[in-house]
Amino acid sequence: MGLSPNHDHNHNIVLQPGVKPVCVGPYRYPCFQKTEIEKLVNNMLILGIIRPSPSPFSSPGLLIRKQDGSWRLCVD
């Protein structure tokens, strides 16, 4: 559970000079899903599955209904 262990090397993505970060706005979703998204994200933060990032890049997320009726957060 949690993030992967530290490795003996770090990976970097080297951008070409002058390239601006790709930043996509959030998808539109029904209001009732807002609280579910916040709950899932807060739970993953608490469990250490995800962590805050200062990166200027972003990817939109959306909820997909699982067969058992619960929600899965998917990132595009």
CA-CA distance, 65 to 37, in Å (whole number)?
A: 12
* Cα gap 42→24, rounded to integer Å: 21
Q: What pLDDT score was predicted for residue 1?
A: 61
| 11: its two tokens | 């990976």
Which DSSP letter does residue 1 get?
Answer: -
In this prediction, residue 68 carries a pLDDT of: 96
The Cα 73–Cα 76 span in angstroms is 10
43's tokens:
């739970």
The model's pLDDT over 5-52, given as tens digits with 9 standing for 90+, comes to 777 887 777 888 888 877 677 778 888 888 899 999 999 999 988 888
Sign of CA dihedral 11, 7, 75, 30: negative
